[in-house]
Amino acid sequence: MSQVCTGSSGAGGVRRSMGHLSDRTTMLTCAVLVSAAVLVVGLNLLPSDHALHVGDATVSLLGKYFCYMLLALAVDLIWGYLGILSLGHGAFFALGGYAMGLYLNAQGTNIDGWQAWLGHFPLMALAVVLAPGLLALVFGWLAFRSRVTGVYFSIITQAMTFALMLAFNRNEMGVGGSTGLTRFSELLGMPLNSHAMTVALFVASVLAVLLAFVICRMMTTSRLGRVCIATRDAEARTRFLGYRVEHVKLAVFVVSAVMAGIAGALYVPQVGIINPGSFAPLFSIEVVVWVALGGRATLFGALIGALVVNWLKTVLTTEMPDAWLFMLGGLFVVVTMALPQGIAGLAASMRRQKGGAVHE
Amino acid sequence: MSETLNRLRDMARPDRVFDFMVPDRSPVDVRHGPILYMEDVTVSFDGFRAIDRLNLTIDDGELRCIIGPNGAGKTTMMDIITGKTRPDSGQVWFGSRHNLLRLSEPEVASLGIGRKFQKPTVFEALTVFENLELAMAGDRRVWATFMARLDHEGRARLDEVLETIGLEAERDRRSGVLSHGQKQWLEIGMLLMQRPRLLLIDEPVAGMTEQEMHRTANLLNRLAGQQSVVVVEHDMGFVRSIARHVTVLHQGSVLAEGSMDAVAADSRVREVYLGAEEERHA
Amino acid sequence: MSRRAIRDLWRAGIVLVLVMMVPVMMALPGVVHAGDQISDEQARTLLEGLDASGFEAKGEAVERVAASTASQRERWLQALLEGRLARERRGDHFYIITDDGGREWPIIDAITLEDVGTGSRRTINTITINNTLRTQIEGALAAMSLTAGDVKARLAAARALVGTVDAISVARVEDTLAEEESLAVREQLETALALHRVQQGDVDALETLRGHLDTRVRNTLVPLAEGDGELASEARGVLAGIERKREWHQRVQTLFFGLSAGSILVLAAIGLAITFGVMGVINMAHGELIMLGAYSAWWLQQLLPGQPGLALILAIPFGFLVAAAFGIAIERSVIRFLKGRPLETLLATFGVSLILQQLVRTVFSPLNRAVASPEWLRGSWQVTEALSISYSRLAVLIFCLVVFAALWAVMRFTRLGLEVRAVTQNRDMARAMGVRAARVDMLTFGLGAGVAGLAGVALSQITNVGPNLGQNYIVDSFLVVVFGGVGNLWGTLVAGMTLGVLNQVLQPWVGAVLAKIVVLVGVILFIQKRPQGLFPPRGRVS
C-alpha cells in the first residue's frame, strides 16, 4: 500500500481535470482587460478634436467601472464559490474609500489628531487593507464560529452596514458627517484633476482588477477552491471530511473584504467624493445583482455584470432617471427567475448547443 | 436523557468541530485479537432499551453483516461506536488500546473508523476525481489546502481507489450526474481515501438495481481483508451473497451469530425475523 | 384564486378589522357655555376704562371688567393681553384684531363680535399695557376661568395660578377653594396657596408640597432651600423627595416611550414573522407593503377631506386589503417559482421592492406626504407633571397589541391557521392529508402582507408617508424576527418591545443615532451567540 501524501510537500505538477480550459479562460480574460486598457489610454492620447478621442471624464468613468468590477469580483468570490451572500460588502468598499478620503483630505492642509496620521501614503495603504480586513475578520470570526449561515448571515451583514451608515452619518465621527469627504486636491503631490493623474488612476484600477482576477483564479482552481465549492453544496459533509469549514470561510471572507476595500480606495480619487451613501444597504445589494446578472462562480461573469449594469445605470440615470429603478428592480427579478446562471451561463449553454459536444 | 446530555455537552464546546481525522496509519493494536470489542453495552432512551447488554466482537479484516428487524438497535449500535451516542453502561474498545467511550466523534474518525450513512452525499458540482481528492488524507489547514498539489503517490492512491470502486471511466465526470449506485460507491471510495481500519456501512444497496447490487457485493468482498467491514442491511438476498459471518440483532441484543445458513436455520431467528419476512413475501 | 380562498382571506381580514375597531370608536363631544348679557352701553363704558390714560387707571378698569358679567370679557382681556384690542382713531368703536400679520388687519367689533372688515395703523389705535398690568390680566383671566362652569376650564385656570398667587389675590383664591367641589381643582388651588405661604416663610405649608412634581413648585423651592434655617433644610428634604419621584416617573415615561417605539417595530415585523418566520420566505419587499398601507391611509384622506377620523378607520380594512392584494400578486408571480431558494427569493423580492418604490414615486410623488391625525389622536394625557402619554403613541401601542392578538387568534383558531401550522411542520404530510399547500402559501403570504399594510396605516400617524418609508423599517424588522426566534409570534412581540425599550433607555446617555447603532450591534452579537434567537423553534420534523 502506498504512503499517503501530504499535499504541500508534493513535487508533482499541476493536475487539472478541467485544465487547459480554465487556463484559457484566465488568459482570455486577462487579454481582454489589458487590451481594453491599452485601447482606452491610446484613444485618450489622440488629439482632442479627433473623432475617436476619449476624454478625461470618460477615462475617469471607465476607471470607476473598473473599481466596481473589483468589488463585484470580491462578492463573486464569497457568494459564487462559498455560497455566502454578503449584503454588507459596500461597508468594506466604503471603509477602504474613507481611508483614502482621509488621506486625500490631509494633503496640503493642517489637520491634527488621528487624521494626520493617515496623511502618509504607506499608513493609508495599510489602513485600506486593515480597516476592511479587520472588520471582516472579527465579524466573520463571530458569525462563522457560531455557524450563522444562509439568510441569517445576509441579514446580519445588512444590519452591519446599516449600523455603519448611521455611525458615519454622525458629525461626531469627524469624517464629514452626511456630506462625507470631498474637495480633494492632490495625490502624491500631483493634482487630482490633471490629465496624467486621471490616466494613472485608470491604469491602477485596471491593474488591480487584473491582479485580483489572477489571485481569485488561483484560489478557485486550487484545492481550496474545491473545498469552497464542497462547503457551498454540502457543508456538513465537508466538515465530516475533516476540513475546518469556518476557517476556510473566514479566510475567503477576509480576502474578499480586502479586495472590496482596495476597490473603494481606488474609487474615491476618481469620483472625488466618499459619503455614507456607500454604506447604504441598497448599494451592497446592487453589487449582488451585478454578479447575479454576469453569472455566479465564474469570476469573469462578475466583471461583465458590473460593467453592463453600471453602463446601463450611467445611460439611464441621465436619459430617463425615472426608468432606472424600474430597470434595476426588473433586473433583480428577471435574473433570478429566468437567468439563474447569468450572462456567463447563457453564453456557456449557447456554446454547448452550437458545438453539440455535451460532456454531461 | 443521555442524548440531551450529549447535546448539552456538544453545545458547551462550540469550537469543537470534526477535527482532522486522518492520521497516516491508525495506531490500532490488534495483536491481541479483535479490532472492535463491545461488552455488556446498554443504552436506553426514555426508559426504552434500544441496546440491551449487547456483546459483539469484530475481527481484523472481517466482513460482518448485521441484520435484524426494525428497532433492533442497528443504527444505535453504530452511533455508539462512532461516538455519537454514549451508552449507559458497558465497554467499547477499538483494538486493545483505545476505549471508544472516551473519544469524541472526530477523534473516533481520526482513529480510522469510517462511517457511511444511508443517504449518499457527494459533492455534486465536483468531478469524481475531485471528490476523492478532497477526501484524501493530508493537511487540512487553509493555507496548506491552497498550496496543495497532487504528487505521484497521491495520484497512485487515487487511481487505486478509483479502480477499487470501479469508477475509472467516470473519473472526470461531475458526480452530480452519477447514478444512485455510483454515488454510493464514490462515497465508499471517499471513506477509503482516509484509510480506515474499520468501515461501518449502513444499508449500502437500498434503492439499487440488481446489477448494481451485484457490483456492490463484489466491492465489499474486495474491501474485506484490507479493512474490517461492518454492513447493516435489510436485503436478505444481498446479505446471503456477501456474508461469511452474520449477526442477528433483536431488541437490542444479539439473538444469533454464525454463517448465513446456520443463522437462517435457527428457529428463534425464523420466528422474529426471517419468518416474518417470509410471511410478508407469501 | 379559488372562491374558498377568497372567503378565507376575507374572514381572516374581518376578524382582524373588527377586533381593531373597538379602541378606535371613541370620540369626545366638546362642551359649550355662555354667560349673562349686559347692554352695549355698559360694555362701551367698560372698554373706555381700559383705554384710560395711565397704567394704574387701566389696572382698575381691568378689575372692573373682570368683575362684570359681560360675556365678551374674556375676549377683551385676552386681546388686551396680546396687544390686539384697539380703538378707532376718529370715533369710539372698539375692535379686536384677529390677525396682526401684514399691514391691513382683519378686525371684528369688540362688542358685537361681528366682522367689520379691516383696519390699519392709520385708522385704529392698539391699547398698550405694561408688565405689571400683564401679570394682573393673567391673574384675572385665571380667576375668571376659576369660576366658570366647566371643570376643564377651572382646572386649567387653577393650574395657571400655581406660582402666581400674590398678596392681593390670595384672599380670592382662598374663597374659591372654599367653594370648589372638584378634587383635582382643589388640589391645584391648595398647591398654589401652599406655595404662596411657603414663600411667606410658612414651614408647615411645605407638607402640602411634598412629592409635588410641578416644575413651578421646584423652581420656587430651589432658592428657598439655599441657606440655613428650618425652612431651608425642610425645603431641601422636600426637594430631594420630589427629585426621587420625578426620576421614577421619568423611568415610567421612558418605559412607555420604549413600548410605543417597540410596538412600531413589532407592527412592522409581525407580518414578516409570518412570511419569513412561518413560511421561510425572505420578502425584502415587506417594507414596501408597509409603505403601501401608509399610502392607502393617505389616499383615503384625500378622498374624504375634513374627516380624518373616518378616513383613518376606513384605512384599516382598506390598507389591509391593498397590501394583501399586492402581497398575493408578488407570491403568485415571483415567490412561488423560487421555492427552496432563499437567497434568490431575497434578491427577486428586493427587485420587487425597488419597482414598488419607483411606482409610488411615479404615480404619486417623490415627496413625503403628511397624514393628518384625527382630533381624538392629538394631544396627550397628562398623568402627572412628569409623566405625559400622548394619545397617538398610546393608540399605536394598543393597535399593536390588538393586531397581535387578532393575528394570534387567526393562527390559533381558524382553519387557515391550522393549515398554516400543518404546512409549516410537515409540508408533504399536510399535502397528503388534503391540505392544498400552494393555496395555504398564497393566503399566508396575503395575511402577512395585509398585516404589513396595517403597520403602514399605523405608521402614517407617527411619521410622514413617502416612497422610502419601507426602507427605514426593513433592516429593523428582519432583526426583530431573527432576534425573537424565527417562527415564533411571541418571540417577535418580546423582541420588538425589548429593542424598543432598550433604544429609549440608551438614548439619554448616547443620543438617538448611537443608541440605534448600539442596539443593532448588540443584536448582531446576540445572534452570533444564539443563532436561534430568544425563543428557538422547537425541533421541527422535516
Average confidence (pLDDT) over C280-304: 90
Average confidence (pLDDT) over C182-194: 81
One-letter-per-residue 3-state SS of chain A: CCCCCCHHHCCCCCCCCCHHHHHHHHHHHHHHHHHHHHHHHHHHHCCCCCCCCCCHHHHHHHHHHHHHHHHHHHHHHHHHHHCCCCCCHHHHHHHHHHHHHHHHHCCCCCCCCHHHHCCCHHHHHHHHHHHHHHHHHHHHHHHHHCCCCHHHHHHHHHHHHHHHHHHHHCHHHCCCHHHCEECCCEECCEECCCHHHHHHHHHHHHHHHHHHHHHHHHHHHCHHHHHHHHHHHCHHHHHHCCCCHHHHHHHHHHHHHHHHHHHHHHHHHHHCEECHHHHCHHHHHHHHHHHHHHCCCCCHHHHHHHHHHHHHHHHHHHHCHHHHHHHHHHHHHHHHHHCCCHHHHHHHHHHHHHHCCCCC
pLDDT in 10s for each residue of chain A, 360 residues: 333 333 333 333 333 333 434 577 788 888 888 898 889 888 888 887 777 788 888 899 999 999 999 999 999 999 999 999 999 999 999 999 999 998 888 876 666 666 677 778 888 899 999 999 999 999 999 888 888 888 888 888 998 999 899 889 888 777 878 888 888 877 877 788 788 888 999 999 999 999 999 999 999 989 999 999 999 988 888 887 878 888 999 999 999 999 999 999 999 999 988 989 899 988 998 999 899 989 888 899 999 999 999 998 998 888 887 788 888 899 889 888 888 888 888 888 887 777 654 443
- Cβ within 8 Å, pair C344-A169: no
Per-residue pLDDT at C206 exceeds 60: yes
User: For residue A65, is it within any domain?
Assistant: yes
Q: Which residues does chain A have within 8 Å of residue B172's beta carbon, measured at their own beta carbons?
A: 17
Mutation for testing the A interface, residue in C281, C357, C358, C530 having most A CBs under 10 Å: C358
Read off the pLDDT of residues C25-51 as tens digits, 9 standing for 90 and up: 433 333 333 345 677 888 888 888 888
- Cβ within 8 Å, pair A322-C358: yes
How many other CB atoms sit within 10 Å of the CB of residue A107? 16
Per-residue pLDDT at C531 exceeds 50: yes
Q: How many domains does chain C have?
A: 3
d(CA A67, CA A60): 11
Q: Which residues does chain A have within 8 Å of residue C359's beta carbon, measured at their own beta carbons?
A: 326
User: For residue C462, is it within any domain?
Assistant: yes
At B40, list the grid cell: 455488556
Could you give the maximum distance between any two Cα atoms of chain B, in Å? 61
Q: How many domains does chain A have?
A: 1
Chain A residues contacting B via beta carbons under 8 Å: 1-15, 17, 145-146, 219, 222-224, 226-227, 229-230, 232-234, 236-248, 251, 359-360
d(CA C531, CA A89): 21
Could you tell me the pLDDT band of residue C537, with boundaries at 50, 70 and 90?
Answer: low
Could you tell me the pLDDT band of residue C15, with boundaries at 50, 70 and 90?
Answer: low
Q: Are residues C442 and C394 in the same domain?
A: yes
- Cβ within 8 Å, pair C524-A160: yes
User: For residue C148, is it within any domain?
Assistant: no
Q: Kindly state the helix (H) or strand (E) to which residue C105 belongs, with its residue range.
A: strand C105-109
Read off the pLDDT of residues B80-113 as tens digits, 9 standing for 90 and up: 998 888 888 999 988 888 888 888 777 787 788 8
Q: Where are the domains of chain B?
A: 2-281
Please classify residue C322 by burial: count the beta carbons closer than 10 Å to its beta carbon, then call 0-12 exposed, 13-18 middle and 19+ buried: buried
Per-residue pLDDT at C448 exceeds 50: yes
pLDDT at C326: 95
Nearest chain C residue (CA) to A84: C343
**Chain B partners (3+ C-beta pairs within 8 A):** A
Chain C residues contacting A via beta carbons under 8 Å: 282, 334, 337-338, 342-348, 350-359, 361-362, 471, 474-475, 478-479, 482, 513-514, 516-517, 520-521, 523-525, 527-529, 531
**Least confident among A107-111, B57-61, C298-302:** A107-111
pLDDT at C2: 58
- The CATH fold assigned to B2-281 is Rossmann fold (3.40.50)
Which candidate, B39, B43, B38, places its Cα nearest to that of B1? B43
At A175, list the grid cell: 469624517
Higher per-residue pLDDT: B249 or B5: B249
- Cβ within 8 Å, pair C347-A160: no
Q: Are residues C281 and C399 in the same domain?
A: yes
Read off the pLDDT of residues C59-77 as tens digits, 9 standing for 90 and up: 888 888 877 777 777 788 8
| Helix axes of A281-294 and C342-363: crossing angle, nearest 10 degrees | 120
Q: Which domain holds residue A89?
A: 25-354
Higher per-residue pLDDT: B200 or A22: B200
Higher per-residue pLDDT: C398 or C209: C398
The radius of gyration computed from the CA coordinates of chain B, to the nearest angstrom, equals 19
Read off the pLDDT of residues B114-144 as tens digits, 9 standing for 90 and up: 888 777 788 988 999 999 988 887 777 888 8
Q: Residue A192 is part of a domain; what is its CATH number?
A: 1.10.3470
User: For residue C153, is it within any domain?
Assistant: no
Could you tell me the pLDDT band of residue B273, with boundaries at 50, 70 and 90?
Answer: low
pLDDT at B276: 55
User: For residue C531, is it within any domain?
Assistant: no
pLDDT at B25: 44
pLDDT at A358: 42
CA B241 to chain centre: 18
Which candidate, A63, A13, A10, places its Cα nearest to that of A269? A63
Q: Closest Cα of chain A to B81: distance in Å?
A: 16
**Distant-in-sequence, close-in-space partners of B154: CB < 8 Å, separation ≥ 6:** A4, A5, A7, A10, A12, B133, B136, B138
Which candidate, C184, C175, C132, places its Cα nearest to that of C157? C184
User: For residue A322, is it within any domain?
Assistant: yes
Q: Are residues C364 and C479 in the same domain?
A: yes
Per-residue pLDDT at B10 exceeds 80: no
- Cβ within 8 Å, pair C521-A330: no
Q: Which residues does chain A have within 8 Å of residue C351's beta carbon, measured at their own beta carbons?
A: 289, 328-333, 336
**Least confident among C80-84, C307-311, C424-428:** C424-428
Q: Are residues C122 and C168 in the same domain?
A: no
Read off the pLDDT of residues C91-125 as tens digits, 9 standing for 90 and up: 778 888 888 777 788 888 888 888 888 888 888 88
Read off the pLDDT of residues C326-370 as tens digits, 9 standing for 90 and up: 999 999 999 989 887 888 888 899 899 999 999 999 888 888 888
User: For residue A11, is it within any domain?
Assistant: no
Name the residue with cell 463571530. A142
Annotate C400-459 with DSSP letters as a single string. HHHHHHHHHHHHHHSHHHHHHHHHHH-HHHHHHTT--HHHHHHHHHHHHHHHHHHHHHHH
Q: Which among C337, C361, C524 has CB closest to A337?
A: C337
Q: Which domain holds residue C84?
A: 40-131
User: By percentage, how much of chain C surpasses pLDDT 70?
Assistant: 90
Higher per-residue pLDDT: C90 or A338: A338
pLDDT at C18: 55
Per-residue pLDDT at C21 exceeds 60: no
Which candidate, A79, A14, A41, A62, places its Cα nearest to that of A231? A79
How many other CB atoms sit within 10 Å of the CB of residue C167? 8
How many other CB atoms sit within 10 Å of the CB of residue C480? 30
pLDDT at C35: 43
Which candidate, C345, C349, C356, places its Cα nearest to that of C323? C356
Domain boundary among C212, C247, C282: C247
At C370, list the grid cell: 403628511
Q: Which residues does chain C have within 8 Å of residue A322's beta carbon, measured at their own beta carbons?
A: 358, 361-362
**Distant-in-sequence, close-in-space partners of C127: CB < 8 Å, separation ≥ 6:** C50, C51, C58, C80, C83, C85, C86, C87
User: For residue A215, is it within any domain?
Assistant: yes
Per-residue pLDDT at C243 exceeds 80: yes
CB pairs under 8 A between A and B: 146
d(CA C155, CA C139): 14
- Cβ within 8 Å, pair B126-A240: no
At A125, list the grid cell: 495603504
